[in-house]
Amino acid sequence: MITKKKTNWFRMLFEWNGSVLPQLLPRLFILFSYSVLVVYFRDDLLSYDIHINPAIFTLFGIALALFLGFRNTVSYDRFWEGRKLWGALLNDTRSLARQAHTLVEGDNYDKERTDFIHLLTALVHALKHQLRETEADSDLKRLLLKSDHDRIKTAVFKPIIILKELGLWVNKAKLSGRIDSITQTSFDVNLNKLSDIIGGCERIASTPIPYTYSVLLHRTVYIYCFLLPFGFVESTVWITPLVIVFIAYTFVALEAIADELENPFGIQPNDLALEAMSEMIENTLAEIDNKKIETIPRPKSYYII
């Protein structure tokens, strides 16, 4: 995810990193070339009365802009909900780590507390990998005991299995007399919150915006853009390609941004920085556990820049 301070107005005109313009350039070039051809053959087109009243594009453009605005609002709602879920994940894992250190009795229980913290950290990384459909084994291997790793690595829903292990840890503490029933209930409340967070993330990842809705918008945007030259060729002549590309950039870019934000858990520049957030959670839990976990080097594209 890219988060930059806004530069001055002139430099922002040429901003490249984080913009959708690079992926749009081939499409805009095709539209520019198409507009040049329309202008080149304008005399023939006008002789056959093949042109469109620009007023039609004004009315249709307003409707299309509202349609695109609604589409972007839906996509941004998904993005923001994903961010809130990961914010809640940070808060709830911190609460559980604090409870393990302050509510579980016994001075010689440090190793068990550390195992609990590692399980929490492994759950965060496992959720990240599940949402991105990547392999979680490297993170699980460095965080979990071999017995836990061998048991979890074959699971399909690894975060849920780790959540079960956390519940078993709390139950073991209760059976050994280190916590009472009220404290166990307090742990269970936060574990249930983690379950809700995992389910919320899975809902976003597995329920995209209906495909037919995206197809309708995509077709409408491109049909509109490819009809535009016939409305401007008579009045703007050779300025037409520039005008068309500028208008098309606005509409096509809005559609591209909506597509990018629809799944906030990917690795595109404007998706959530799950890698950075996972490592931040790992380090804050390690600090609660009175330990320092060295941050693992990651590709620059994974971080908040």
Q: Specify whether 170 is located in the same domain as 29.
A: no
- At 190 the pLDDT is 96
Considering the domain architecture, whether residues 172 and 293 belong to the same structural domain is answered as yes
Domain annotation covers residue 216: yes
283 and 177 part of one domain = yes
Q: Are residues 91 and 162 in the same domain?
A: yes
Q: Answer yes or no: do 297 and 174 share one domain.
A: yes
pLDDT confidence band for 57 (50 / 70 / 90): confident
Within 10 Å of residue 137's Cβ, how many Cβ atoms? Answer: 13
Q: Is the pLDDT of residue 36 over 80?
A: yes
pLDDT for residue 216 is more than 80: yes
pLDDT level of residue 293 (50, 70, 90 thresholds): low
Residues 126 and 68 in one domain: no
pLDDT reading at 295 higher than 70: no
- Residue 294: band (very low, low, confident or very high) from pLDDT cuts 50, 70, 90: low
> pLDDT for 58-86, tens place per residue?
888 888 888 888 899 999 999 999 999 99
Whether residues 97 and 238 share a domain: the answer is no
3-state secondary structure the chain: CCCCCCCCHHHHCCCCCCCCHHHHHHHHHHHHHHHHHHHHCHHHHHHCCCCCCHHHHHHHHHHHHHHHHHHHHHHHHHHHHHHHHHHHHHHHHHHHHHHHHHCCCCCCCHHHHHHHHHHHHHHHHHHHHHHHCCCCHHHHHHHCCHHHHHHHCCCCCHHHHHHHHHHHHHHHHHHCCCCCHHHHHHHHHHHHHHHHHHHHHHHHHHCCCCHHHHHHHHHHHHHHHHHHHHHHHHHHHHHHHHHHHHHHHHHHHHHHHHHHHHCCCCCCCCCCCHHHHHHHHHHHHHHHCCCCCCCCCCCHHHCCC
pLDDT at 187 over 70: yes
Q: Are residues 106 and 188 in the same domain?
A: yes
Q: Total structural domains in the chain?
A: 2
Question: Does residue 12 fall inside a structural domain?
Answer: no
Predicted confidence at residue 21, as pLDDT, reads: 84
The answer to whether residues 198 and 216 belong to one domain is no
Query: Could you report the per-residue pLDDT of 192-213, keeping only the tens digit for each?
Result: 999 999 999 999 999 988 888 8
Q: Is a pLDDT exceeding 60 seen at residue 305?
A: no
Cβ proximity of 2 and 303 under 8 Å: no
Residue 7 domain flag = no
- pLDDT value for 302: 38
Residue 3 within a domain: no
Is the pLDDT at 303 greater than 50? The verdict is: no
Q: What is the pLDDT of residues 139-164, one digit of tens each?
A: 999 999 888 898 898 999 999 999 99
Question: Would 6 be classed as within a structural domain?
Answer: no
Give the mean model confidence (pLDDT) for residues 214-242: 88
Residue 4 lies in a domain: no
Tell whether 166 and 249 lie within a shared domain: no
Classify residue 100: in a domain, yes or no: yes
Rounded Cα–Cα distance for residues 232 and 127 (Å) = 51
With respect to residue 13, please indicate whether it lies within any of the assigned structural domains. Answer: no
pLDDT recorded at residue 1: 59
227 has a pLDDT exceeding 80: yes
Q: Which domain holds residue 25?
A: 21-76+208-262
Of 14-18, 126-130, 294-298, give the range with the top mean pLDDT: 126-130
Mean pLDDT (whole number) for 97-106: 90
Q: Output the pLDDT for position 231.
A: 85
Mean pLDDT of 212-232: 89
148 and 253 part of one domain = no
Domain shared by 87 and 69, yes or no = no
